[in-house]
Amino acid sequence: MHILIKLKIPTLAAISKNCINWTFVFHFYPQQSSPSSFPLTRFHTTMSSTKQEGEVVTSVLSSEQAAELYDVKSRDLAMEKADEAAQLEVDPSSNRRLVWKIDLILLTVISLVSAFQYMDKSSSNYASVMGIKTDLKMVGNQYSWVGTSFYLGFLVFEAPCSWTLQRLPLSKITSAYIIAWGLLLCLTSLVKSYPTFILTRTLLGVLESSITPAMVLFMSQWYKKDEQFFRTSILIACNAVGGLVGASVSYRLYERQLAGTLSMDAWRILFIIVGLITIVTGLMVLFIIPDTPSQAWWLNKTEKLLAIQRIRSNKQGFGNRHFKKEQVYEALVDPRLYLYFFLQVAVAIPNGGFSNFSALMIAGLGYGKGKALLMGMPTSAVSIIGMILFGYLSTIRNRRLDIAFAGLALNLISGCLMAFAKPLHAQLAGYYIFGISPIPYTCILSMVASNSAGHSKKVFMGAISMIGYCTGNLIGPQTFRESQAPHYQGAKTAIVACYCIAFLILAAIYIVNVRENKRRDALDERLPADMLNSEFADLTDFQNPEFRYAI
């Protein structure tokens, strides 16, 4: 015997005042006839433009029809252990020990990935003062296309890459991407012409498009909502660690090149070094990070169950490998999708230009090329300290958008100093304060991880967000015109304008989330009481009336 319950739930679409009715079809199976103790196995959604009264319709299906409708693929990867985990209580002491262990192992490894990814992306920036422009005969605005080509590859492959991260084992496919880009970096040392170099940078963007979406998925798998912003801040701070390491290595190679003690060009050796480091990091991801927490070899059985129980409050689970088109359709009517996209564009334009031209900009203040490599290191130091500090503050106040507003204010000060200050020391201070610039980007990543429920929706929202990031980084280097070298006044003015726009978009995100939370609190709707383990049903934030958006 199989019972079908069809329930129409009217909700208010956040994108407008129009009502949208989501129709859920729940299939309940007797305990003895279903391979899972979880009663919700499949749902369908339809939308209507008019509000209708809620209704309940019951009918009896044959066993053949029930078997056809039962689809284990729609369940979350954590569902298999959900009942067993529900028997455990995560006390504060056990939670602290488990989080410390996760931080020590998982966070350490993905922080190394973040550090070396940034060093890889910035390798062309370091190479620009080590002779690559002369060796590859770059003229005019050709160097601007080095940064743009990277993000062009990133942009083109972002969507298919995100699809592979959902369909394939997360850790294994991520490590494959990392190892491949490490090999490509090593091969970059062999390039002899500008077109070949552009090709390698484009392919590098293709491979590295996987990393940030993978980090978002790891964060949502392992950490609770109120823990994610701080850990994401640590990841971004490790970008600066990669910047420090890259600048130090580059300066030492440049010194030896001037002394004539190198067997090949310094920039070629640089690509080999960062490539080999990246390959080792990829192997660490393969052997240390599991595809899901319940597969972690470094957790005992009880800890694996506690890891499942801990993230139950996220109402998102570990995700699943079945792509659901209806969740993509929902994302397309979610205003957050477009706000994330345009916020990414606004904050990425300054990043795209600065990450490729910072060494040349500092050299334009009157410092020699070698010293310009060293003078950029305080920016990385400011980033490390600032990102960790702001991330920690978010754990105290637990309002990440407030932190993002404060970070944007510092970004605007940084841009104004670089663009409009007359004293060179004031301009240099602006460069250093720019180390805080990733705070809005960190906010977006944690928002995608925390506020996008439904695995297919989360993957899609993350992909569109990163496309915005790519778009901004594509535009950024083009704001630096060779005719304005070495001060690049037009690019600096564009940085100020972008941060002003970012303020307005961030305010819109705040308003949308606060208003929706208040609306849900007023309605106080609940999921059916007999709907067991609903946290692992792969429900989206629209489908789950108990979901609340992190502010």
Q: How confident is the model at residue 497 (pLDDT cuts 50, 70, 90)?
A: very high
Residue 550 covered by a domain: no
Query: Do 53 and 173 belong to one domain?
Result: no
| pLDDT value of residue 504 | 95
Tell me: pLDDT of 76 over 70.
no
Give me the amino acid identity at 392: Y
Distance CA 223, CA 363 (A): 42
CATH number, position 519: 1.20.1250.20
Q: How confident is the model at residue 258 (pLDDT cuts 50, 70, 90)?
A: confident
User: Between 544 and 486, where is the model more confident?
Assistant: 544
Nearest-10 Cα torsion for 502, 506, 512, 517: 170
Give me the amino acid identity at 49: S
Distance CA 216, CA 213 (A): 5
Tell me: pLDDT of 34 over 70.
no
What are the residues whose beta carbons fall under 8 Å from the beta carbon of 24, sequence distance 6 or more? 6, 7, 9, 43, 44, 45, 543
Distance CA 267, CA 256 (A): 11
| pLDDT value of residue 58 | 30
Predicted confidence (pLDDT) per residue in 369-388, tens digit: 666 667 767 888 888 899 99
| pLDDT value of residue 356 | 66
User: Between 272 and 90, where is the model more confident?
Assistant: 272
| pLDDT value of residue 117 | 84
User: Between 212 and 365, where is the model more confident?
Assistant: 212
Q: Is the pTM of this model over 0.75?
A: no
| pLDDT value of residue 393 | 87
| pLDDT value of residue 122 | 75
Domain finish residue from 39, 74, 109: 74
Query: Do 118 and 256 belong to one domain?
Result: yes
Q: pLDDT above 90 covers what percent of the chain?
A: 26
Query: Do 243 and 364 belong to one domain?
Result: yes
Region of poorest pLDDT, from 43-47, 122-126, 359-363, 388-392: 43-47
| pLDDT value of residue 541 | 87
Compute the mean pLDDT over every residue in the chain, rounded to the nearest whole number: 79
Tell me: pLDDT of 425 over 70.
yes
What are the residues whose beta carbons fall under 8 Å from the beta carbon of 96, sequence distance 6 or more? none
Residue 537 covered by a domain: no
| pLDDT value of residue 46 | 36
Distance CA 42, CA 468 (A): 33
Tell me: pLDDT of 47 over 60.
no
Q: How confident is the model at residue 24 (pLDDT cuts 50, 70, 90)?
A: very low
Q: How confident is the model at residue 18 (pLDDT cuts 50, 70, 90)?
A: very low
Query: Do 68 and 213 belong to one domain?
Result: no
Query: Do 33 and 110 belong to one domain?
Result: no
* Three-state secondary structure call for residue 28: strand
Predicted confidence (pLDDT) per residue in 317-348, tens digit: 666 667 788 888 999 999 999 999 999 999 99
Tell me: pLDDT of 307 over 50.
yes
Asked if the peptide bond before residue 169 counts as cis, ω within 30 degrees of 0, the response is no
Helix axes 377-397, 400-420, angle to 10 degrees: 150
User: Between 488 and 3, where is the model more confident?
Assistant: 488
| pLDDT value of residue 143 | 81
Q: Are 173 and 213 in contact (CB under 8 A)?
A: no
Residue 79 covered by a domain: no
Q: How confident is the model at residue 447 (pLDDT cuts 50, 70, 90)?
A: confident
What separation in angstroms does the CA of 44 have from each of 8, 98, 112, 528, 539? 11, 37, 41, 17, 11
Q: Are 400 and 447 in contact (CB under 8 A)?
A: yes
Tell me: pLDDT of 3 over 60.
no
Query: 356 burial class (0-12, 13-18, 19+ CB within 10 angstroms)?
Result: buried
| pLDDT value of residue 476 | 84
Query: Do 130 and 69 belong to one domain?
Result: no
Nearest CA among 356, 328, 313, 296 for reference residue 476: 356
Nearest CA among 165, 457, 111 for reference residue 291: 165
Residue 544 covered by a domain: no
Q: How confident is the model at residue 39 (pLDDT cuts 50, 70, 90)?
A: very low
Query: Do 382 and 445 belong to one domain?
Result: yes
Residue 545 covered by a domain: no
Tell me: pLDDT of 66 over 80.
no
Residue 86 covered by a domain: no
Region of poorest pLDDT, from 205-209, 376-380, 412-416: 376-380
Q: How confident is the model at residue 352 (pLDDT cuts 50, 70, 90)?
A: confident
Query: Do 19 and 133 belong to one domain?
Result: no
What separation in angstroms does the CA of 210 have from each of 30, 98, 110, 224, 248? 42, 27, 13, 23, 27
Q: How confident is the model at residue 30 (pLDDT cuts 50, 70, 90)?
A: very low
Tell me: pLDDT of 253 over 50.
yes
Tell me: pLDDT of 19 over 90.
no
Query: Do 43 and 109 belong to one domain?
Result: no
What separation in angstroms does the CA of 485 have from each of 129, 138, 371, 379? 14, 15, 18, 21
DSSP 444-485: HHHHHHHH--SHHHHHHHHHHHHHHHHHHHHHHHHT--GGGT
Helix axes 301-310, 92-102, angle to 10 degrees: 100
| pLDDT value of residue 55 | 37
| pLDDT value of residue 184 | 94
Distance CA 147, CA 357 (A): 9
Nearest CA among 169, 448, 441, 212 for reference residue 316: 448
- HSE-CB for 514 with a 13 A CA cutoff: 10
Q: How confident is the model at residue 51 (pLDDT cuts 50, 70, 90)?
A: very low
Number of domains forming the structure of the chain: 2
Tell me: pLDDT of 153 over 60.
yes
Residue 534 covered by a domain: no
Q: Are 11 and 334 in contact (CB under 8 A)?
A: no
Region of poorest pLDDT, from 152-166, 347-361, 380-394: 347-361
The string over 326-346, giving b where at least 16 C-beta atoms fall within 10 Å of a residue's C-beta and e elsewhere, is bbbebbeebebbebbbbbbbb
Residue 495 covered by a domain: yes
Region of poorest pLDDT, from 78-82, 268-272, 314-318, 418-422: 78-82
Q: How confident is the model at residue 83 (pLDDT cuts 50, 70, 90)?
A: low
Query: Do 269 and 386 belong to one domain?
Result: yes
CB atoms within 10 A of CB 120: 27
Q: Across residues 38-46, what is the average pLDDT?
A: 37
Q: How confident is the model at residue 533 (pLDDT cuts 50, 70, 90)?
A: low
Query: Do 37 and 126 belong to one domain?
Result: no
For residue 70, give its domain range: 2-74
Distance CA 228, CA 231 (A): 5
Query: Do 208 and 146 belong to one domain?
Result: yes
| pLDDT value of residue 288 | 95
Predicted confidence (pLDDT) per residue in 92-145, tens digit: 888 899 999 999 999 999 999 999 888 877 778 778 778 888 889 888 778 878
Q: Alpha helix locations (H) across 189-300?
A: 194-208, 211-222, 225-259, 266-288
